[in-house]
Amino acid sequence: SQQGEEDPQALSIQEGENATMNCSYKTSINNLQWYRQNSGRGLVHLILIRSNEREKHSGRLRVTLDTSKKSSSLLITASRAADTASYFCATGGVTGGGNKLTFGTGTQLKVEL
């Protein structure tokens, strides 16, 4: 079953603009991770934020986490055409000493020149 719900399902912006994607989830988590998937390719890990963190940055990416609202957001600043992809949030729980990720439904981002 899907844990997270991304919003919006699809987003189209102009190059140079910022893109914001939101993720809501239902159960308690250990961490939340964001992944990118280009058409026909595998998933590329972008950033991991732990449940005791509120904000994290990596290059042009900024992720926030609000555990009280069970939500997270991914901000991509100064977007580029190469950022066109599907973006997934995945919540991490703890299963038998390993990490288990439950993915959301994804946001399709299109960055136009």
Partner 1 sequence: EAGVAQSPRYKIIEKRQSVAFWCNPISGHATLYWYQQILGQGPKLLIQFQNNGVVDDSQLPKDRFSAERLKGVDSTLKIQPAKLEDSAVYLCASSRRGAGNTIYFGEGSWLTVV
Chain residues that interact with partner 1, rule: CB under 8 A:
2, 4, 30-31, 33, 35, 41-45, 48, 50, 88, 90, 92-106
**CA–CA–CA angle 29, 30, 36 (5° rounding):** 85
Extract the tokens encoding 108.
């399709």
In the bound state with partner 1, the residue whose beta carbon lies nearer, of 15 and 101, is 101
Say which residue the tokens 């729980």 belong to.
93
Say which residue the tokens 């159960």 belong to.
27
Nearest approach, Cβ of 53 to partner 1 (angstroms)? 11
In the bound state with partner 1, the residue whose beta carbon lies nearer, of 15 and 30, is 30
Contact between 71 and 10 (Cβ < 8 Å): no
Nearest approach, Cβ of 40 to partner 1 (angstroms)? 8
